[in-house]
Structures are given as C-alpha cells and as structure tokens.
C-alpha cells in the first residue's frame, strides 16, 4: 500500500469585511431565528487577510459565494487573490462546505483549492491541488484555513 505525503503550503487568516444578503438575514439565520427557505439562500461574503507559509506569503482578498441549502449545508464557492510579498498576484479558487457545530458558534471548513499564476516565480502553483481545512468563527467573523498539498 502506498502513502501520500501531505505538506502544509500556507495558512490564511481572514476577516469578513462585508456581506450581501439575498432575502434572509445572516445574523437571524445564525441565531436560529429563521430557517433557510425551501429554495435555500445566498450570501456574498467579502474577506481580506494574510497568507503565511514557507513558500507563499502575502495579502489575501476575495469573495465567497455561499449557498445555504434548506438542510443547513453551507456550500462555498471561493474566489480570491493572494498578492505575494514580492508583488505578484496568484488567483485561488475553492469549492467546499462549512459545517456548523451544534453550538452554532464555529463552523468547520473543508475546501478543495486550485491556484493560478502566470509570473515565472509562481507557475509552480498551477500544478497543485490543495485541500483546505479550517474554521469560521461566526461571532468574531474570522476564517482560518490551512492549505495542504500532496
């Protein structure tokens, strides 16, 4: 049996900076005051923060198009830019889920991530398939995810 060696590529620490709601209040949903409607609901969640790692560091900004299904499943559709410390842009795209813990204060985040860069210094990221594991602190509006690469 073969094993896959997995290494940490970078960590992001993100602050939610804005939210667009589509008919349902995010605060009311998180407080349990309303349930997701039968068709689900959507939130566009803007964020910014930092990425830190052995080979990838910089400022991060982006948006997550979150779809909340009627059963409470949070589906994530993430589009972000990592602006490296040497001024290069790396596009990151992710698909995944956020699963609220029973207390409703923390959500566990699981996401598949791809990166894209055209600059010679960072084209190595184009071959990677990353797995992101982390949390969303609902009250503090902080997202922390570690991206791993096989």
131 in a domain, yes or no? yes
150 in a domain, yes or no? no
| Residue stretches of the chain with pLDDT short of 50 | none
145 in a domain, yes or no? no
26 in a domain, yes or no? yes
116 in a domain, yes or no? no
Tell me which residue of 127, 50, 112 sits closest to 84, measured CA to CA: 50
The residue range of the domain holding 89 is 7-109+122-140
3-state helix, strand, coil in the chain (%, to 5): 5, 60, 35
Report the C-alpha gap between 49 and 37 in whole angstroms. Answer: 32
- pLDDT for position 132: 98
125 within 8 A of 149, measured Cβ to Cβ: no
62 in a domain, yes or no? yes
Domain count for the chain: 1
Q: Which residue shows structure tokens 């992710």?
A: 94
Report the CATH number at residue 40: 2.40.160.20
117 in a domain, yes or no? no
59 in a domain, yes or no? yes
Supply the pTM of this predicted model. 0.93
Tell me which residue of 145, 69, 85, 59 sits closest to 110, measured CA to CA: 145
Residue 79 pairs in a beta bridge with 63, 93
């Amino acid at each position: 049996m073969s094993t896959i060696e997995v290494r940490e590529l970078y960590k992001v620490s993100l602050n939610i900076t804005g939210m667009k709601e589509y008919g349902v209040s995010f605060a009311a949903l998180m407080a349990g005051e309303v349930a997701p409607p039968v068709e689900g609901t959507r939130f566009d969640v803007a964020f910014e923060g930092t990425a830190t790692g052995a080979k990838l560091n910089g400022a991060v900004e982006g948006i997550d198009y979150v779809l909340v299904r009627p059963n409470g499943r949070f589906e994530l559709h993430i589009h972000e830019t990592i602006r490296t410390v040497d001024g290069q842009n790396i596009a990151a795209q992710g698909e995944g889920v956020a699963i609220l813990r029973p207390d409703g204060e923390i959500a566990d985040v699981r996401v598949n991530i791809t990166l894209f860069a055209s600059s010679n210094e960072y084209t190595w990221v184009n071959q990677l398939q990353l797995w992101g594991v982390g949390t969303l602190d609902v009250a503090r509006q902080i997202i922390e995810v570690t991206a791993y690469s096989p």
